[in-house]
Amino acid sequence: MKVIALLALAGSAAAFAPAQQQSRSTSLAAFENEVGVQAPLGLWDPLKLISDGNQAKFDALREREIKHGRVAMLAVVGYLTTAAGIRFPGAENIPDGLASWQALLDSRDGQNVLIQMLAFFTVAEIVNRDAAWLDNKAEFVGDYRNGALDFGWDKLDDATKLRKRSIELNNGRAAMMGIWGLVTHELLGVSILPGGYLPGH
């Protein structure tokens, strides 16, 4: 018992010891000017995933972040659209929120909606990647235009392109937190939607 008390005392004393100042790693400095490294966090890598300065690893993680952000933006829009009562033809009787999954499995119309969703996900996964069979190079990580889609992007100046990429990245980050918050509140039974509406209930 005395040993445990002594260890607890030593551990608590260590909490008040001055922290060693660490200099910023030179390998992380390579990423300081990347899109998305901005105030208030700057370059935030608490798990030290890119502490080795590996550009290929950074690009792979950034590609995943962009993709998850794009999916989360669609998820938030879909969640709020169905909560507003808007449905595709054939899905009028499908509830909103998480209750929709079981309802989709239980009805023939719901199964048709699931097949359509699967087809959309498949096409989106195929289209939203660098097409190795085309002779073009992506302008940046997450650029999946593949020489076909432009919508005026090539006419923008570099500063505007950088600003728009930052906006997309931050909107994706917000959407990832947003869909997480919407689903968590639904599971807790606490509405955060106007009028106190709670999807799935």
104-122 tens-digit pLDDT: 899 888 888 899 999 999 9
Q: What is the pLDDT of residue 188?
A: 95
146-164 tens-digit pLDDT: 777 778 888 999 999 999 9
Would the pLDDT of 83 be above 90?
yes
17-47 tens-digit pLDDT: 444 444 445 677 778 888 888 887 788 888 9
Q: What is the pLDDT of residue 11?
A: 53
Average pLDDT over residues 75-82: 95
In Å, what is the CA distance from 180 to each residue of 76, 145, 173?
Answer: 9, 29, 11
CA 11 from chain center: how many Å?
38
Q: What is the pLDDT of residue 102?
A: 92
147: left (phi over 0), alpha (psi -120 to 50) or beta: left
Average pLDDT over residues 117-131: 85
Average pLDDT over residues 121-138: 79
Residue 40 CB-density burial (10 A; 0-12 exposed, 13-18 middle, 19+ buried): exposed
Q: What pTM did the predictor assign? A: 0.79
Q: Which pLDDT band, with edges at 50, 70 and 90, does 16 fall under?
A: very low
Half-sphere exposure of 90 (CA within 13 A, CB side): 11
CA 168 from chain center: how many Å?
11
Which residue has tokens 């490294």?
37
